[in-house]
Amino acid sequence: MNVGISKHPDLSGTFLPVTTPFDPVTGDVDIVAFRANLRHWFQSPISGVLIAGSTGEAAFLDEEERITLLQAASDLVTENGLVISGTGSESTRHTIRLTKQAAAAGADAVLVSPPAFYKGAMTPEVVSRHFRSVADASPVPVLIYQVPLRMSTIDLPTGLIAELSQHPNIVGIKDSRGKLDLVGELVEQTTEDFQVLVGSGALLYAALETGAVGGIVAVGLMATAGAAEISVGFGEGRTTDIGRIQERIAHVHQKIVTEMGVPGIKAALELLGLHGGEPRPPLSTIPEVRIDEIRSILEAADLLTTAGV
C-alpha cells in the first residue's frame, strides 16, 4: 500500500493494556466478562485500550480470539478513544497477516514487538527490515513495542528507533524498559512527530515531563481514574495533584505489575470487583497465600475504598 495513506493518530494520554478473561470451565475467551471490564474502564478518561498485549496474554491467543476481542473493543470504545492491537509475531509474514486482520477488525493502530526467537541473528539491519516491511504493508499506523527486558526479547538501540521513526507509517513506540534516561534519548533522537509512550506506570508522570506523550500502563487496570488523571492533570498543569497520584500508584505497579505479572494483576482485578479470572496455562494462578498481600497493596493505595468493595 501507499504508506502515506495512514493518518497519524494522537497517542497522548493514558492507555490500558487490557487483560483477557477466560471461562473457568471451557478455557475459552469470556467475551461477556471482557465487555463488562471495558465498560468499567471506559468510565474514566483513558485515551484507549491495547488488545493482545503482554498483559492480555497475547502469546496464548489464536487469530480468531484476537479478532473477537478487537471487535468487542471497537464496539465499546468511547468517542475519540483508540483501539490498538498487538500484532507482533516471529515471522514478518505472520506479523503482516495479524496486522491486516487487526485493521479489518477495527484496530486504529498496531503495536509490533521485535522478533526474538533467533536472537543472535536479529541484527539492527534485520530488525529494521522487519519493521519497515510490516509498516509498508499495514493499513493502519504502526507502533514499535520495546518489550520489558525480563521477557524473551531484544533491546532495541536508540539509533535504530530514530531511523525507523523516519518511516511515514511508524508513528511511535511503547518503551517498557522502565528507564527514564532511555525515554529522554528517544524523545531527543526521533523525529518531531514520533510519539513516545512508556509502559511503566511508575514512570508516567516523569516520562511526560521528559517529553513522552503518554503511556500504556497496566497499573491503570487497577487504578484507572488515577492513571488517567496523571495524563489529564499534566496537560492542565496540575503538577502537585498528579505528583501525589503518581506516588500512590507507583507501589502498585512495582509490587503487582512488575513482581507478580499477569497472575497478580488478574487476582487484583477480582478483589476490585472486576473480571480477572485465571491466566491461560502454562501461566499459573497466583498462590492463595499472596492474595492478602495483594489486598494490602490495593488498600494502601486507597483502591479498594474507591472501588467500593
Question: What DSSP string runs through 124-193?
Answer: HHHHHHHHHHHHHH-SS-EEEEE--TTSS-----HHHHHHHTTSTTEEEEEE-S--HHHHHHHHHHS-TT
Q: Is residue 290 part of a domain?
A: no
Rounded-to-10 torsion of CA 107, 111, 112, 114:
-170
Which residues have CB under 8 Å from 224's CB, separation 6+? 16, 40, 41, 43, 44, 46
Output DSSP code: residue 22: B
Q: Is residue 252 part of a domain?
A: no
Q: Is residue 262 part of a domain?
A: no
Q: Is residue 88 part of a domain?
A: yes
Q: What is the pLDDT of residues 86-113, one digit of tens each?
A: 999 999 999 999 999 999 999 999 999 9
The whole-number average pLDDT for the span 139-168 is 94
Residue 307 vs residue 175, higher pLDDT: 175
Cβ burial of 288 (10 Å; 0-12, 13-18, 19+) is exposed
pTM of the model: 0.95
Distance CA(27)–CA(181), nearest Å, equals 41
Q: What is the pLDDT of residues 243-280, one digit of tens each?
A: 999 999 999 999 999 999 999 999 999 999 999 999 99
Distance CA(293)–CA(285), nearest Å, equals 15
Is the confidence at residue 163, as pLDDT, over 90? yes
The whole-number average pLDDT for the span 239-245 is 92
Q: Is residue 84 part of a domain?
A: yes
To the query of whether residue 174 is one of the catalytic residues in this protein, the response is yes
The whole-number average pLDDT for the span 235-249 is 93
Write the CATH number for 170.
3.20.20.70
Number of domains in the chain: 1
Range of the domain at 231: 13-239
Q: Is residue 179 part of a domain?
A: yes
Q: Is residue 107 part of a domain?
A: yes
pLDDT band at 8 (very low <50, low <70, confident <90, very high): confident
Element holding 17 (H helix, E strand): strand 13-17
Catalytic position from the list 7, 100, 119, 174: 174
Is the confidence at residue 5, as pLDDT, over 80? no
pLDDT band at 167 (very low <50, low <70, confident <90, very high): very high
For residue 179, what is its C-alpha cell? 528507564
Q: Is residue 308 part of a domain?
A: no
